[in-house]
Amino acid sequence: MPSDDSQPGFGAADPRLLLERDWDEADFSWERQTEAALGCWLGGERAVAAKGWSEALLLARQSFAADDPRLAASLTAAACARHADGERDLAEKLLREALLIWDRASGVGSATGPQMAGERRSRSSTYHFSLESRFTGGYDRHVEARHAALLATGREGSLAWLQGRAWPLRLTAWRKERPEGLTFSRKLMAAAYLLPPSDSQG
């Protein structure tokens, strides 16, 4: 699967900027691999997609915190591939692990907390200052609500796969809405929006 270095923020990114933004090569690699694998899956290249998801899962286990939402997303994608191969028991095990991670990511003491706080502190735009001037803590609450919504979306996607319910494709929305900056919101959105779609499986 070829990498897409034309994506916003990819390719010629300054390594110093990555460090400042708490991004590293693992963050870029996971996003590229996961999006590419989803594209292969949609294009009927199921074996290639399964391999890509497996590699992304290994990367997530090795490089991310145990409660990182991207690990939950990779587990869900791997479960999708296992389900397609008829390995439903293993798929269910992976999905239950994913749900536990989504729940931990949303809880107090999660490793994602400091990253959320860091993003809340990085106010720069006129919109951010406008929110703060009108409502004390307005920007913080806006970011917190957005993060909570993304975590809830991702969890619901994993749950839909576990329960055999339909789950819509969000790849187009991801490509339109993803932040161009190297933000924590981008990591969360990738986890929530790059889940494979599911038809109702009965």
Residue 8 lies in a domain: no
Asked whether 195 and 73 are in contact (CB, 8 A), the reply is yes
Task: Give the model's pLDDT for residue 3.
Answer: 41
CATH number of the domain within which 80 lies = 1.25.40
Helices (H), 85-170: 88-106, 113-121, 126-134, 138-163
Residue 6 lies in a domain: no
Residue 3 lies in a domain: no
Residue 1 lies in a domain: no
Task: Give the model's pLDDT for residue 105.
Answer: 94
Task: Give the model's pLDDT for residue 138.
Answer: 52
Q: Give the Cα separation of 149 and 188 in Å (integer).
A: 10
**Of the given ranges (77-86, 109-118, 172-181), which has the lowest mean pLDDT?**
109-118
Residue 139 lies in a domain: yes
CB within 8 Å of 118: residues ≥ 6 apart? 22, 184
Residue 78 lies in a domain: yes
Q: Give me the domain span that covers residue 135.
A: 25-193
Residue 14 has pLDDT above 90, yes or no: no
Q: Give the Cα separation of 177 and 199 in Å (integer).
A: 24
Q: Give the Cα separation of 25 and 17 in Å (integer).
A: 12
Residue 10 lies in a domain: no
Average pLDDT over residues 2-9: 42
Q: Give the Cα separation of 129 and 151 in Å (integer).
A: 26
Residue 177 lies in a domain: yes
Report the number of distinct structural domains present in the chain. 1
First to last CA, the chain: 32
